[in-house]
Amino acid sequence: MRHDAVIFDIDGTLTNSTRPIIASWNRYLSSLGIPYTPLNEELAASLMGKTMDEWAMAVLPDLPLEEARHHAEIMEQEENDEIRRNGTDLYPGVYEVFEQLSRDHELFILSNCGKGYIEAVMAHAGIEPFVRGHLCYGDTMLDKPDNLRKMINDYELKNPVYVGDTARDKECCEEAGVPFIFVSWGFGDVPEAERRADSMEQLPDVIAGTSVTMSE
């Protein structure tokens, strides 16, 4: 059965936003006058795909969760502003593939990111006209499997597929009962993935089932 919808992860799938996130978060953290763990590329990469509560406790481990969450909400807005001002590092072919896929599929974005982040990345990429809907942890305070179920129910999707870059993405899809396509250019490795794409340009054929690259 042909997929009627494609749901995309964002970090490691459409973009690598470690540059604007590191810049904006460290700028804010340094202004607080309290102990914090600076973000670097290694730490930021390890947190991609995790909830914002996990991000908050990683950089402010000595604070109670509620207080760390308050600062994380501010930093989320700081990073969104940074992306809107200075962009993010999109992977090649995002615009072209979204334009192509939108002719025959409904397209969505779903992530564990903070509120407003998806909108900032979409604006930078110019893909808003191709995206029917988006949902994130910051919108609902739900983890990815629950948000997947919510999106499927809200939009009455019959045969969606999720595109992501980590083993956690695959686990979330299994929990929600959604087929998974692994993309190999992101932050994770899923050697057992049954379907994978090794470039954005290859993705439409993998979604269509005409060029499925099996992992070794």
**51 confidence band (pLDDT: 50, 70, 90):** confident
**2 confidence band (pLDDT: 50, 70, 90):** confident
Run of H or E including 111: strand 106-111
Domains of the chain by residue range: 5-16+89-208, 18-86
Query: What is the C-alpha to C-alpha distance for residues 166 and 160, in angstroms, rounded to an integer?
Result: 18
Mean pLDDT, the chain, whole residue set? 93
For 121-167, the pLDDT digits (tens) are 999 999 999 999 999 998 999 999 999 999 999 999 999 999 999 99
Given a contact cutoff of 8 angstroms between Cβ atoms, the answer to whether 69 and 48 are in contact is: no
**196 confidence band (pLDDT: 50, 70, 90):** very high
pLDDT at 21 over 60: yes
Buried b / exposed e along 79-118 (16+ C-beta atoms within 10 A): bbebbbeebbebbeebeebbeebbeebbbbbbbbbbbbbb
Query: What is the C-alpha to C-alpha distance for residues 7 and 109, in angstroms, rounded to an integer?
Result: 5
CATH of 5-16+89-208, one of 2.30.30.60, 3.40.50.720, 2.60.40.10, 3.40.50.1000: 3.40.50.1000
pLDDT confidence of residue 209: 86
For 161-178, the pLDDT digits (tens) are 999 999 999 999 999 999
Given a contact cutoff of 8 angstroms between Cβ atoms, the answer to whether 98 and 131 are in contact is: yes
pLDDT at 19 over 80: yes
Per-residue DSSP letter, 92:
T
Query: What is the C-alpha to C-alpha distance for residues 167 and 7, in angstroms, rounded to an integer?
Result: 16
pLDDT confidence of residue 45: 87
pLDDT confidence of residue 106: 97
pTM for this model (two decimals)? 0.88
pLDDT at 109 over 80: yes
% of the chain with per-residue pLDDT over 90: 88
52 or 215, which is more confident: 52
pLDDT confidence of residue 212: 37
Given a contact cutoff of 8 angstroms between Cβ atoms, the answer to whether 138 and 10 are in contact is: no
For 175-190, the pLDDT digits (tens) are 999 999 999 999 999 9
pLDDT at 107 over 50: yes
Nearest to 9 by CA among 111, 147, 160, 115: 111
